[in-house]
Amino acid sequence: MASNPSETMNDSIQTNIDRHEVRLFDIPIAGVTPDVAVDIVEQAIINRRKLHIGVVNAAKIVNMGKNPELRDSVLESDIIFADGMSVVWASKILGTPLPSRVTGIDLMFGLLERADRARYRVYLLGATDEVLNKVRENIARDYPGCVVAGLHNGYFSADEEEVIATDIKRSQADILLVAITSPKKENFMARWAHLIDAPICHGVGGSFDVYAGKVKRAPILWQKLGLEWLYRVIQEPGRMWKRYLFTNSEFISMIVKALMKKRPADSREHRP
């Protein structure tokens, strides 16, 4: 008997994810380019296969080591991308190289492009009402074929979560974009994934603020040099300097410890 086409497609998506997987600090990260990442996600939309997307940078990896709920929420994602260049550099230093990073904001724009072509329905969750309305205006201008199926700001209590999740389900969205800070973002997505019917759930962090023009994104050269964190510190020194000073230092320490642990193992493998 021929296999179910839907099951075959789901198997194809999972095989594609598994084939490119790289383990870094015991986190399975998809070792793919941005274009391949968008292809994998769109394949899931077409097949109506639920794909909960996670992204990690240095700060999140450090915080996952301290916050078990955050770690569990991220690891419950169906696919995890490397959002920061520091994660890509760490993968190369530790001998499990990722081909490139896949930033949450670039993946968001890639999905909006596909939504424009295929008239996918998108739900916007997070940020302030002012920012959300500006993002909706910009989507209508830049991606007129994309249907904004609903939106809700990111300032809600735990008691309101179920109502919001139900609204997302009723919107019949193909893509849910969640612009809420960690760990609230990951915990919401993990807690209500069973109710939310959108095939794609993607946490985009501060991407709405950038798209609305409230916050400037680092220039391309700064991005390539992995200095987006420094650009953010320059823009918001009072809020950001401690966060990046401590998390970057801890991330470097994690790399050094992993490298020291790896070298004795490598020596034993090459011992005659």
Q: Which residue ranges make up each domain of the chain? A: 5-218, 229-269
Q: Could you tell me the CA-to-CA distances from 248 to 96, 217, 254, 255 in Å, in that order?
A: 20, 20, 10, 11
| The predicted structure's pLDDT at residue 43 | 94
Residues 34-76 pLDDT 10s = 999 999 999 999 999 999 999 999 999 999 999 998 999 899 9
Question: What pTM value is reported for the model?
Answer: 0.86
* DSSP-based three-state secondary structure for 83: coil
Question: What residue type is 169 in one-letter code?
Answer: K
Q: What angle do CA 114, 117, 120 make, to 5 degrees?
A: 65
Mean pLDDT of the chain: 88
Cβ–Cβ contacts within 10 Å for residue 53, how many?
A: 27
Distance CA 207, CA 187 (A): 18
Listed residue (192, 202, 201, 199) closest to 6, CA to CA: 199
